[in-house]
Amino acid sequence: MKPDKFKIPPTVMARQVGDELVILELSRGIYFGLDPVGARIWQLLAEHRSFEEICNAMVAEYDVRADVLAQDVSKLLATLSDKGLIEPADDGPKE
């Protein structure tokens, strides 16, 4: 089961640098950088968009196949989640 929605914990802060993003996890002092595409996904996460909403928005904005995009978004969310930079929102899991 994958969560459909994620939230950004209060211990995480992010700053835009140019068109990229640098994220700091305060409780462990972990830093993480995102390229412009990752930064856009982060922005959508911060707007409480669901996985599907994020994918739809990205497909509309970038020249990419929907299935490839979904895989890439899924991978990034898994990485961010593993690092404790995002966590499942309380809206309930999705199969």
Partner 1 sequence: MKLKLSEPTAQGRLDAPPYHAWTHADGAPFAEFHRYAQQYLIRFPDVADFEISCAEDEILCRPVPGSTNATLHHLFLNQVLPLALNRQGKLVLHASAVQVGDAAVAFAGVSGRGKSTLAASFATNGTGFLTDDALILEPASDTGYWIAPSHPSIRLWEDSHVNVLPEQVPAAPASDIGPKSRFLAGDAIAFCERSCRLKKVYFLGDGTAPTVSITPASHSESLLAWIRNAFLLDVAEPTTLAENFDRLWRLARDVDCYNLDYPRRFDALAAVRHAVGAHALQ
Decide if residue 87 touches partner 1 (CB under 8 A).
Answer: no
Cα-based angle 28, 11, 88 (whole degrees, multiple of 5): 105
Q: Tokens for 28?
A: 């462990």
What 3-state class would DSSP assign to 85? Answer: coil
CB-wise, 24 or 70, nearer to partner 1? 24
Phi-psi sector, 29: left (phi>0), alpha (psi -120 to 50), beta: left
Say how far apart CA 35 and CA 10 lie, in whole Å: 22
Total site size for partner 1, rule CB under 8 A: 14
Smallest distance, partner 1 to C-beta of residue 23, A: 10
Among 3, 6, 8, 21, binds partner 1 (CB under 8 A): 21
Among 2, 9, 27, 71, binds partner 1 (CB under 8 A): 27
Which residues would be at the binding site for partner 1 (CB under 8 A)?
11, 13, 15, 17-18, 20-22, 24, 26-27, 29, 31, 33
